[in-house]
Structure 1
Amino acid sequence: MYTVTQRLPNEIKFNNMSSNQDKITYESLLEGNKMWVAETLKVDPTFFDELAAGQTPPILWIGCSDSRVPANQITNTMPGDIFVHRNIANVVTHTDMSLLSVLDYSVNVLKIKHIIVCGHYGCGGVNAAMGNKQVGLIDNWLRNIKDVYHANENEVKSIQDPQQKFDRMVELNAIQGAKNVMSTSIVQNAWASGQELGVHAWVYSLKTGLIKDLETNASSVEDVPELFKMETE
């Protein structure tokens, strides 16, 4: 958990408060909000007026719900810069109406320029999907990651080191998520209309704070496997 100590136009500095998590209460959140507003207005008195005027984020971020992976902080961006959708293990499926609604709005209304599917090493959802223990309702959601494992079974099983195997599954899950985004009619119709739009897969390291580009990128339907290309008008 972090608290803002200084706010600059393109930078936010934080004090690590992880050792004080037991002090976080319902009331402290509201007090923290007041402090954040006051400190923000000291730096930029017009900040909230400009923020309330509307949003034109260039990025759609599809990430994990994990509390340690906040999109704005780890990319050093500001409120209004990134449109965000998060779920357990940053899964992208073609039957998730919540995700598809976010995707449609961001592409067709906000006209975002880039879609990033970002996983993170140490993801509990991926770890659970690699095993056979039941953990509850979420087992049905994690089945999507098991499908990724099955599709890449030879590669994953060839990795002997358990940590490296886990890390690779995190990467493969993000890569598959990006591929699933590319395969949607939403994205392909945007490309067909000439809209500038890139799709990317990233992974974030909790240990180093650094993002790794998984080099899975697409900017046109030509980057989509033939089976998943759609005819567009």
Structure 2
Amino acid sequence: MACEKTILDDLLCRNHEWAQRTAETNPALFPALAVGQSPKILWFGCSDSRVPETTVLDLMPGEVFVHRNIANILPSTDLSSLSVLQYAVEVLQVQHIIVCGHYACGGVNAALGQKKLGLIDSWLRNVREVRAKYEKELEGLSQKEQSKKLVEFNVIEQVRSVLKNANVQEAIEERGLEVHGWVYDVGCGECHVLQCPEDPEAHVFMVKNPRAELE
């Protein structure tokens, strides 16, 4: 009696088929990737399974460096996201950083509620702080509109968090690194550019490389 095919067997089979198709259509890709990577984009996104950046951007392996977590948050104390940011900016020399949130975000919706969730509450505190900051803008909106607006406000604040990073500031000044805020609409599959107002507190976080003062 043949063994029943498991979901993992199916995944491996699909991987092998994909690798074969890709090698046939782009024979230089895998040998090049074996040598190294040189992505031009750093993507900070949500862990949500509906927002796979390589798929929604129609990119190939090696074209985007990625960090994802619940609600695409970039706290100044998170060693994981800070390490990714430093490596992407200093070593990979990416040209663009995209912070992308998405509508119908479970993390954002949870931050709008009062239900105790456990360990994740500590993480979602970052989004709740954004909610508190924009309380007046959210007041009076329907639950659906509150969710959409908080998704956008959260992206704005995470873009500002990126811009407060000293390595990012240096790369902007020295080589024109750009930081962008996007929102992905899971209902239609399209990304939209979000206009991120200038941070009124930005000047407080500006730092200079000591080398620049000697030149």
- Residue 184 of structure 1 aligns with which residue? 165
Contact preservation (8 Å) 1:129, 1:145: yes
Q: Measure the CA separation in 2 of the matches of 1:111 and 1:135.
A: 38
Contact 1:148 1:173 in 2 (8 A): yes
Shift of 1:99: 0.3
CA contact (8 A) 1:198 1:217 kept: no
Are 1:200 and 1:217, in contact at CA under 8 Å, matched by a contact in 2? no
- Provide, for residues 114-166 of structure 1, a one-character-per-residue CA deviation record: whole Å limited to 9, x for no partner: 101000000000000111101121010000000001111111114x2221111
Deviation at 1:196, TM superposition (A): 2.0
1:190 positional shift: 2.2
Q: Distance in 2 between matches of 1:72 and 1:143?
A: 29
Q: Match for 2:145: what amino acid?
A: Q
Alignment TM-score, normalising by the size of structure 1: 0.84
Task: Give the drift of 1:223.
Answer: 9.2
Does 2:133 align with 1:156? no
Are positions 1:229 and 2:206 aligned together?
Answer: yes
Partner amino acid, structure 2, of 1:207: G
Indicate if the aligned counterparts of 1:119 and 1:203 stay in contact, CA closer than 8 A. Answer: yes
Secondary structure (helix, strand or coil) at the match of 2:194 reads strand
Per the TM alignment, residue 228 of structure 1 is displaced from its structure 2 partner at its CA by 2.1
Residues 208-227 of structure 1 deviation map (CA, whole Å, 9 limit, x = unaligned): 11111112288xxx997222
- Identity %, equivalent residues: 44
Do residues 113 (structure 1) and 95 (structure 2) align?
yes
Equivalence for 2:213:
none
Q: 1:129 to 1:232 in 2, by over 3 A?
A: same
Query: Which whole-Å deviations, capped at 9, do the CAs of 1:170-227 have from their partners, x for residues lacking one?
Result: 01111110100000112112234x1220011110000011111112288xxx997222
Q: How many residues align?
A: 206
Taking a change above 3 Å as real, the CA distance of residues 121 and 96 of structure 1, as seen in their structure-2 partners, is: same
SS across alignment from 1:216? coil
Aligned to 2:35: 53
More strand by share: 1
CA distance in 2, matches of 1:85, 1:224: 26
1:223, 1:76 → 2: CA distance? Answer: 35
One-letter code of the match for 2:155?
A
Query: What runs of 5+ residues in structure 2 fail to find an aligned partner?
Result: 211-215
SS of the residue corresponding to residue 42 of structure 2 reads strand
What residue is the counterpart of 2:188 in the other structure? 208
Asked if residue 139 in structure 1 is aligned to residue 124 in structure 2, the reply is no
**Does the Cα contact within 8 Å between 2:181 and 2:195 map onto a contact in 1?**
yes
Matches within 5 A, 1:72-91: 72-91=54-73
In structure 2, how many angstroms separate the alpha carbons of the residues matched to 1:72 and 1:231? Answer: 35
TM-score, normalised with respect to structure 2: 0.90
Match of 1:32 in 2: 14
Q: Which runs of 5+ in 1 are unaligned?
A: 1-22
Q: What is the aligned partner in structure 1 of residue 149 from structure 2?
A: 168
